[in-house]
């Protein structure tokens, strides 16, 4: 996030832990785990964490008071002050948000004298003693990566479950019973697995304390090149993607400097996951949907799809994007005839070669609108050089040519300012223009692309708007730059006049004023007098990039032209690509490697998640045949837990009664109705479609008339996705009942 010069709001302080050392609030059913022999060491350590947090919070608060009271000069000093305020505020928000529950658990290594405690952040006491190891640090890796097959040098591991800053449960795993020095509370492994299906909240909670070894290996994988993470429902793809973003920002300096863009499938998804990255101590990752990459797509998730299958197929490919590039080049047409320009001294003849030379002046890749000033300056410069003589000073000839209405009109026709949306609209509404820009299209293909309202944008238009905007640049950008340069020049002139007046009024040429403003070290002082507040600010698009790394979730839905939008923002080709081929609504018959190589990616690494931690066995048993019927080779994950609740079938008319009964029986958790948007009016009930439910999860899913979703792959995928959103219970309402 960009630091602001205004003070940042910080939530009011909350208690960071109990007044005493009793950090465990285990229910009666877990009384055996409350044995002091099991928890006394943890109690003492958590008390030390509590005390250190209190001291650090007080120190940050004092530092913020001092920083905000400091009058920083303009320029770098002000920027450094604001950055420090931002960093301090972010850490204070994190400490107040969690307190002692920053601690995720502990691990005991073979031969170690004491446990190592893992936290959301690193923490040391005033003597330098390590209280918490940041979960992203290499030293914390065994806590997540250890398995009984590969214990990573650990004797044991303990994970905590926190509620209201008390530990309400914990799980011990022993990897080497002979090396265990002390007691451990051993549960059946199913107790920990069952905890993964705890009630859902309106927003996703980070699951640091339950990250599994297969997930952790992907989170910590190198960012060099593209990495594909393929996994079915409930395997933790989104968890991996979000935690990987936080990990990479911490672990790889080049990414923290270049920034990470995280792309989700739709706005309900973004709302669901928005708390995860801040809870992981990361607030600088840019998060958006694919549609957000183009300004025309930022009106929400209801932008229509292209209805005609042929039009959708044409716009989904890469070749038609070449037509968009040709549409921009079409407006860069050097005149082929001589032009006579009158000046107060004589006529100046502009030869076609002068235009051609000027058109070659911009650096390759310069956007069309940004290049206008370069072309114009090059044209005027060449004319002045060719026609200036002793009778006509060059600066006067330069001014006369720039003010010539004839030359200005010719230049506007040869290199006009382009509106990106207007260029794309012309492609879809002017048949001759599309024929020139895409001569390979048949008459039938051009006809299906034509529309009466050319700016009635669909989801498939966004890649074209994006590429044209990249090729043209901001139509107002050059104007803003010229204004900024003019204001800067005016400010500098004013500064020099003030300094001249100061010098003239100072009779003592050896005075402090003269030395301060006119001495050998006065350049920096003079720069400080420039009023930066008077300068017009350029406001670059936050999602324009380039970024050092891009993470995209639900990537199986992206078309080739969608990928072009993303790849334009990550020149390094450093990507994390998360998806499930079996959840692609329009089919995904090829391999990931084939799809990605077609769009220009190389040296693709792949990882697979095959264990379903979210969806109970009962639901997967019903969902698997649905997707297998359409996609026999679908990567259907294996569920590791059961809810004990069979899938139910009922009538559509029973919807409200089913929801009311569930709400009455459950004090927490979220229910979702998929396929029926009739209002219900309860804060714990969501109404979604199969598309907007993708990537989300709910305790109860009520699936309404799934057969109405249609036939073929699209219908099967919609049913499969909808069914596998359930973490506890699935009820299917059939129209035939």
CA distance 239 to 205: 9
Whole-angstrom distance, CA of residue 724 vs CA of residue 697: 8
Which residues lie across from 732 on neighbouring strands? Answer: 649, 703
Q: How many angstroms separate the most distant Cα atoms in the chain?
A: 103
The Cα 393–Cα 124 span in angstroms is 71
Residue that has been written with the tokens 């300094």 in this structure:
499
Pairwise CA distance, residues 732 & 737, whole Å: 11
Cβ neighbours of residue 238 closer than 8 Å, sequence gap 6 or more: 204, 273, 553, 578, 695
Distance, in Å, from the CA atom of 62 to the CA atom of 65, rounded to the nearest integer, reads: 5
d(C-alpha 240, C-alpha 223), whole Å: 14
Q: Which residues of 219-240 are buried (b: 16+ CB within 10 A; e: fewer)?
A: bbbebeebbbbbbbbbbbbbbb
Q: How many CA within 13 A on the CB side of residue 361?
A: 21
Alpha-carbon torsion angle 610, 612, 613, 616, nearest 10: -160
CA distance 426 to 283: 41
Number of neighbours of residue 304 by Cβ within 10 angstroms: 10
Q: Which of 9, 14, 185, 183 is nearest to 95 (CA)?
A: 14
Alpha helices, H only, 222-329:
237-251, 253-258, 267-273, 276-279, 309-316, 319-329
Quick one: which of 388, 392, 268, 150 has its CA closest to 672? 268
Neighbours of 510 (CB within 10 A): 7
Query: What does the DSSP 8-state code read for residue 701?
Result: E
Confirm if 14 and 96 have CB atoms less than 8 A apart: yes
Which of 56, 69, 134, 38 lies closest to 99, judged by CA? 56
Binding residues for ATP: 231-238
Taking each helix axis from N to C end, the angle separating 319-329 and 462-472, rounded to the nearest 10 degrees, works out to 40
Alpha-carbon span 222 to 218, nearest angstrom: 9
Burial of residue 487, with CB atoms counted within 10 A of its CB: 0-12 exposed, 13-18 middle, 19 or more buried: middle
Q: Is cis: bond before 31, omega within 30 of 0?
A: no
User: Binding-site residues, please?
Assistant: 231-238
Cβ 240 vs Cβ 578: under 8 Å: yes
Question: CA-CA-CA-CA torsion for 206, 208, 212, 214, nearest 10 degrees?
Answer: 80
Close Cβ partners of 193 (under 8 Å, ≥ 6 residues apart):
613, 640, 641
Cβ 572 vs Cβ 225: under 8 Å: no
């Amino acid at each position: 996030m960009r630091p602001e010069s205004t003070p940042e709001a910080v939530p009011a302080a909350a208690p960071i832990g109990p007044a005493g050392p009793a950090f465990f609030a285990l229910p009666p059913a877990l009384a055996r785990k409350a044995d002091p022999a099991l928890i006394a060491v943890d109690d003492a350590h958590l008390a030390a964490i509590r005390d250190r947090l209190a001291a650090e919070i007080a120190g940050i608060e004092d530092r913020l008071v001092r920083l905000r009271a400091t009058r920083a000069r303009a320029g770098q000093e002000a920027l450094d002050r604001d950055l420090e305020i931002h960093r301090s505020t972010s850490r204070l928000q994190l400490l107040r948000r969690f307190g002692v529950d920053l601690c995720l658990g502990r691990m005991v290594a073979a031969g170690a004298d004491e446990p190592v405690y893992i936290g959301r952040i690193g923490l040391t006491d005033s003597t330098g003693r390590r209280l918490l190891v940041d979960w992203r640090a290499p030293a914390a890796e065994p806590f997540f990566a250890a398995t009984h097959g590969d214990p990573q040098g650990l004797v044991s591991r303990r994970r905590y479950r926190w509620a209201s800053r008390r530990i309400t449960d914990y799980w011990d795993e022993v990897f080497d019973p002979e090396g265990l020095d002390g007691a451990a509370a051993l549960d059946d492994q199913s107790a920990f697995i069952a905890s993964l299906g705890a009630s859902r909240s309106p927003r996703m909670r980070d699951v640091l304390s339950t990250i599994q070894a297969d997930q952790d290996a992907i989170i910590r994988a190198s960012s060099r090149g593209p990495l594909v993470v393929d996994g079915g429902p409930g395997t933790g793809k989104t968890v991996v993607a979000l935690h990987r973003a936080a990990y990479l920002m911490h672990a790889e300096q080049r990414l923290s400097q270049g920034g990470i863009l995280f792309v989700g499938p739709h706005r309900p998804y973004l709302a669901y996951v928005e708390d995860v990255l801040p809870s992981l101590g990361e607030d600088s990752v840019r998060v958006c949907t694919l549609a957000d990459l183009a300004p025309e797509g930022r009106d929400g998730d209801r932008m229509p799809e292209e209805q005609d299958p042929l039009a959708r197929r044409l716009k989904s490919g890469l070749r038609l994007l070449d037509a968009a590039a040709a549409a921009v080049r079409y407006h860069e047409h050097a005149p082929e005839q001589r032009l006579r320009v009158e000046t107060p001294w004589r006529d100046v003849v502009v030869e076609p070669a002068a235009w051609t030379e000027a058109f070659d002046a911009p650096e390759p890749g310069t956007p069309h609108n940004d290049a206008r000033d370069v072309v114009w300056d090059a044209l005027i410069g060449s004319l002045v050089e060719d026609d200036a003589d002793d009778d006509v000073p060059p600066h006067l000839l330069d001014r006369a040519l720039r003010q010539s209405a004839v030359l200005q009109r010719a230049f506007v026709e040869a290199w006009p300012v382009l509106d990106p949306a207007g260029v794309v609209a012309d492609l879809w509404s002017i048949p001759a223009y599309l024929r020139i820009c895409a001569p390979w299209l048949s008459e039938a293909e051009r006809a299906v692309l034509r529309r009466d309202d050319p700016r009635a944008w669909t989801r498939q238009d966004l890649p074209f708007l994006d590429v044209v905007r990249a090729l043209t640049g901001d139509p107002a950008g050059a104007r803003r730059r010229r204004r900024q340069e003019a204001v800067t020049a005016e400010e500098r002139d004013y500064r020099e006049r003030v300094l001249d007046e100061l010098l003239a009024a100072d009779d003592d040429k050896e005075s402090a004023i003269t030395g301060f403003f006119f001495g050998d070290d006065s350049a920096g002082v003079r720069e400080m007098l420039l009023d930066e507040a008077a300068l017009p600010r350029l406001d670059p698009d936050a999602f324009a990039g380039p970024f050092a790394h891009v993470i995209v979730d639900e990537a199986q839905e992206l078309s080739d032209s969608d990928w072009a939008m993303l790849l334009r923002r990550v020149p390094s080709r450093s990507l994390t690509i998360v998806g499930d081929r079996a959840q692609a609504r329009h089919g995904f018959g090829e391999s990931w490697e084939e799809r990605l190589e077609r769009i220009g990616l190389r040296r693709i690494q792949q990882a697979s998640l095959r264990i379903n931690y979210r969806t109970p066995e009962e639901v997967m048993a019903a969902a698997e045949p649905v997707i297998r019927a359409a996609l026999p080779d679908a990567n259907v994950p294996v569920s590791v837990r059961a809810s004990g609740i069979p899938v139910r079938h009922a009538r559509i008319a029973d919807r409200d009664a089913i929801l009311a009964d569930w709400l009455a029986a459950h004090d927490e958790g979220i229910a979702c109705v998929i396929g029926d948007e009739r209002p219900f009016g309860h804060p714990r009930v969501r109404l979604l479609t199969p598309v907007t439910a993708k990537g989300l999860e709910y305790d109860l899913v009520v699936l309404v008339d799934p057969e109405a979703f249609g036939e073929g792959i699209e219908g099967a995928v919609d049913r499969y996705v909808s069914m596998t959103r359930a973490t506890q219970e699935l009820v299917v309402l059939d129209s035939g009942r």
